[in-house]
């Protein structure tokens, strides 16, 4: 919009120049110059009007906000949002700032990074071990309240602006200070995640107080000196070997326990089997005893029943107790009388 108005202003001034030329030509020919003067006046009016309009219309893109400095009061007014607004030329001076996400990348890769060259953060661990931290910070300027005005007031005259004067030094200081609270071995291992979380929280706190909102922070790479890296790798290999040995020992122990448990269960099963058989035999004997007590002749009957059919004579030791009622036993077989004369 401003460029269009400036073009129209130039057209108006061009018409004014044409009017001046017509006036001069008419004067040289002793002709009336009223037409040239009129054209000149109209052109000047058009040019001045559109020039003032081009300087007095502020166009703010959707991804930017305008900080307004009032030259009369020396104060910063409320930032202007996206769209077209009117300012007083020469009194209200606009300064546009981006409000979309921006990225600052600190790396050792000379072909990458926001600054170029080896720009990774140089830090030291708690025991003094050198650590180089490659990190990336995504942020945006605070477009609410006085955030933009504070950014403009603090860093507008700084070479490199808020990125060189605020973002980079804050990132460098926070990474260094928090890294110094960890041992190198912790940073190399599981402590890296917690360290990154603490850095994010601290960056958010410090930058928010200066008009910058942290969107995300991430550690991309940690670099140690070669001797330390080799020592950590050797220790890691030793730990892995130890873990494998412990796992193997646990496996052997589990197998031995399983075999022992199996033998115990087998013995317990055999003992239970013996107990059940003994209990069954005892119950059978108790039943037999009960039957014999109720019917004493039963044993005699069972004995005789099991004798062979041709048994005619039974010899019983003289010193053994009699199991049979001899009278009943002898009465069970009929007496045989030899024939006369024999």
Spatial separation of the C-alpha atoms in residues 144 and 90, rounded to whole Å: 26
Q: What pLDDT sits at residue 25?
A: 77
Q: What pLDDT sits at residue 169?
A: 93
Q: What pLDDT sits at residue 180?
A: 94
Cβ partners under 8 Å of residue 275, min gap 6: none
**Angle subtended at Cα 261 by Cα 260 and Cα 263, rounded to the nearest 5 degrees:** 65
Measured between alpha carbons, how far is residue 13 from residues 44, 46, 66, 90 in Å?
6, 7, 30, 21
Spatial separation of the C-alpha atoms in residues 6 and 244, rounded to whole Å: 79
Q: What is the DSSP string of 267-326?
A: HHHHHHHHHHHHHHHHHHHHHHHHHHHH-TTHHHHHHHHHS-TT-------TTSPP-S-H
Please answer whether residues 149 and 213 qualify as being in contact, where contact means their C-beta atoms are separated by less than 8 angstroms. no
| Architecture category of domain 102-224 in CATH | 2-Layer Sandwich (3.30)
Centre a 10 Å sphere on the Cβ of residue 271 and count the other Cβ atoms it contains.
Answer: 10
Structure tokens at 131: 């650590």
* pTM of the shown model: 0.55
Residue (of 111, 113, 1, 110) closest to 54 by Cα position = 1
pLDDT tens, N- to C-terminus, the chain (342 residues): 556 766 766 777 788 777 788 777 777 777 676 777 787 788 778 767 766 666 677 888 999 999 999 999 989 999 998 988 888 888 889 999 999 999 999 887 766 666 665 688 999 988 888 889 999 999 999 987 688 999 999 988 666 789 989 999 999 999 999 999 998 888 877 888 999 999 999 999 999 999 999 999 999 988 887 766 566 656 655 566 666 667 767 777 777 787 777 778 787 887 777 777 778 777 777 777 777 777 766 666 666 666 656 655 555 555 555 555 555 555 554 545 555 544
Where along the chain do its domains lie? 2-98, 102-224
Q: What pLDDT sits at residue 342?
A: 47
Please answer whether residues 76 and 152 qualify as being in contact, where contact means their C-beta atoms are separated by less than 8 angstroms. yes
**Residue/partner pairs of 247-252 with CB below 8 Å, 24 or more apart:** none
């Amino acid at each position: 919009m401003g460029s269009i108005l400036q073009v129209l202003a130039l057209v108006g001034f061009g018409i004014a120049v044409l009017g001046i030329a017509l006036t001069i030509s008419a004067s040289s020919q002793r002709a009336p110059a009223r037409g040239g003067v009129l054209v000149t006046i109209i052109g000047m009016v058009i040019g001045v009007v559109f020039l003032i309009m081009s300087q007095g219309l502020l166009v703010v893109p959707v991804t930017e906000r305008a900080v307004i400095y009032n030259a009369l009061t020396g104060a910063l007014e409320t930032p202007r949002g996206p769209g077209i607004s009117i300012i007083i030329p020469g009194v209200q001076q606009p300064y546009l700032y981006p409000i979309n996400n921006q990225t600052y990348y600190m790396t050792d890769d000379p072909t990458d990074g926001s600054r170029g060259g080896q720009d990774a953060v140089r830090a030291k661990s708690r025991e003094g071990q050198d650590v180089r931290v490659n990190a990336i910070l995504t942020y945006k300027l605070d477009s609410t309240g006085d955030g933009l005005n504070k950014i403009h007031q603090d860093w507008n005259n700084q070479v490199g602006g808020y990125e060189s004067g605020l973002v980079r030094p804050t990132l460098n200081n926070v990474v260094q200070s928090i890294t110094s609270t960890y041992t190198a071995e912790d940073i190399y291992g599981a402590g890296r995640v917690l360290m990154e979380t603490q850095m994010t929280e601290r960056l958010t706190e410090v930058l928010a107080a200066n008009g910058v909102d942290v969107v995300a922070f991430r550690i991309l790479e940690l670099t140690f000196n070669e001797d330390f890296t080799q020592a950590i790798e050797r220790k890691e290999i030793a730990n892995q070997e130890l873990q494998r040995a412990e796992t193997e020992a646990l496996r052997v122990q589990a197998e031995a326990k399983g075999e022992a448990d199996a033998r115990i269960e087998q013995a317990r099963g055999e003992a239970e089997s013996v107990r059940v058989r003994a209990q069954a035999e005892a119950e059978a004997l108790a039943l037999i005893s009960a039957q014999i007590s109720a019917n004493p002749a039963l044993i005699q009957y069972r004995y005789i029943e099991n004798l062979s059919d041709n048994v005619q004579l039974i010899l019983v030791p003289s010193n053994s107790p009699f199991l049979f009622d001899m009278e009943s036993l002898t009465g069970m077989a009929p007496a045989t009388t030899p024939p006369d004369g024999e």
